[in-house]
Amino acid sequence: MQPLPPNAPARIGDYTLLAALGRGAMGSVYLARSPGGRPVAVKVARAELADNPQFRERFRREVEMARSVGGFWTATVVGADPDAERPWMATEYVVGPTLQQAVHDYGPLPERAVRRLAAGLAEALVAIHGAGLVHRDLKPSNVLLANDGPRVIDFGVARALEHSALTEAGIVFGTPGYLSPEQVVGSAITPQSDVFALGSVLVYAATGAGPFGEGATSALVYRVVHQEPDLSRVPPGLVPLIVPCLVREPAHRPTPARLLELIGPPSHEPSWLPAQVRTLVEQRHTELRELPAKPPTRVLPDKPPTRAEKPPTRVLVEDPPSAPDRVPPKPTRVQAASSQVPPAIKPYTPPARRTGVRYRTSRLVGLAWATAHGAAAVVSGAVANATSGAQTGVRVAAGLAFLLFALLAIRLLAGATRPPLTLDIGPDGMTVSGDGEQRRLPWYAVSRVKVEGSAAHPWVVVRLVSAAQTPKTLGRGSFRNHKGNLRVYPISHERYRKRRERDVAEIRSALAWYAPDAYDAR
């Protein structure tokens, strides 16, 4: 745990914040204390996401799903407010590291600990599936190791079984390396998909690596579908437990309840955790007991910082390289004076940042060019008319110009009447939207992405992994095969040259930033 950052609120709901536990793509997690003194973990959404109605609905579903799951081995939800200015959810605080942290810092778990881990995770899946859910993202960072057993957390990508048909074919939620084959290829996802992930997590716990190795996302998902898992370093006593979980055919995998029968009763040893991990948990218990009932009052300076006291520049590393750094402004004299009353102060909050970049084709530009060419055609036609009095050679040239401008105007007008396309490039992949429809390409479904084509007609072009399905076109030539690749998005074909060159440069930069493993700069 870390001290609270300066811009953190003092309270969330009825909970007093004590320390920072972590920060992810969706928001921050804080250690807090309830009015009765109970430690809780409070997950708070990022400010820029809170303005998105779709995110709020997703957050609301996550809260409902987490509340619907009972059982011993999941973190219980004790409070939430999806309608707050920044949505938040509070769960019981589990004193222990993630499985990923424990294995990374201290090495693989011993066989007896892996068996206890398997029993706890299987029982957690019984509760999750009993609530009509599939977790869909069971992985080492979503498993906490407590003294009394593991806890499964984060239902952020879970989906109710009755709504699984709403998932688009070929669109996968989850983490590469722990996905089931059916998740990769876009087939129906069932509780048995979580069993496959459970088998992968146990391999990681026993060996320090997943069953399909490391590397680029495209390579991982390919191995999941086409290669056998690597169990060469798994202790022989665990192989009969893990192998059935990693069978490719979902119907042939055991249910979590059957896994519990295979594992058998737990051992009677005093602690299931290795000594080093147990020591770490005890240290965290000590830190928790020594935390004050409330954090110390944070008072801002009563004068503007001098040049020597000026805080360092904050570099926002999540933005593309071309994005400028944003530095908090110096407090004014009035702001500095107001800082003498701490309860009324709201620390500086950086402006909201969007995640990813967006590009859009334009109807207006196409209509403008069509109008200009139409006007040129009218002028040329007037000169070519026999009544214009122009010389024969001039009239012939004007007639040819009329035909050329008229054809271009018709072509531009036809293009302008088609629905515009929008391209979003972000950390998780690309989304092309048009005429009320969307086509998503997660990065793990893309083996290569580049910009190619002539200077006047550049395209974003991709090559999908072999297991991915080709989306249907949205018009304008999108998602059409071209020399063995797939054209996805026309980059500013209707715009003037300098604007097109600028868009090409920005898109190249975004692809290199968000998809470094798949981007082809050639």
> Active-site residues: which are they?
137
CA dihedral (416, 419, 422, 428) positive or negative = negative
Instruction: Tell me 359's DSSP state.
Output: E
DSSP letter (8 states) at residue 232:
T
Across-strand partners of 80?
89
Find out whether 422 and 358 touch, Cβ atoms under 8 Å.
Answer: yes
Residue showing tokens 């830190």: 287
Q: How far is Cα 398 from Cα 393, in angstroms, rounded to an integer?
A: 9
The answer to whether residues 518 and 443 touch, using CB atoms and an 8 Å cutoff, is: yes
Spatial CA neighbour of 61 closest among 44, 46, 92, 82:
82
Q: Which residue type is seen at 259?
A: L
Q: Alpha carbon of 287 to those of 35, 416, 456: distances in Å? A: 20, 64, 62
What is the C-alpha separation between 508 and 521, in angstroms, rounded?
8
Q: Provide the angle, in degrees to the nearest 10, between the axes of the packed helices 191-207 and 99-106.
A: 20
| CA dihedral of 383, 389, 394, 397, whole degrees rounded to 10 | 40
Q: Which of 254, 203, 240 is nearest to 224 (CA)?
A: 203
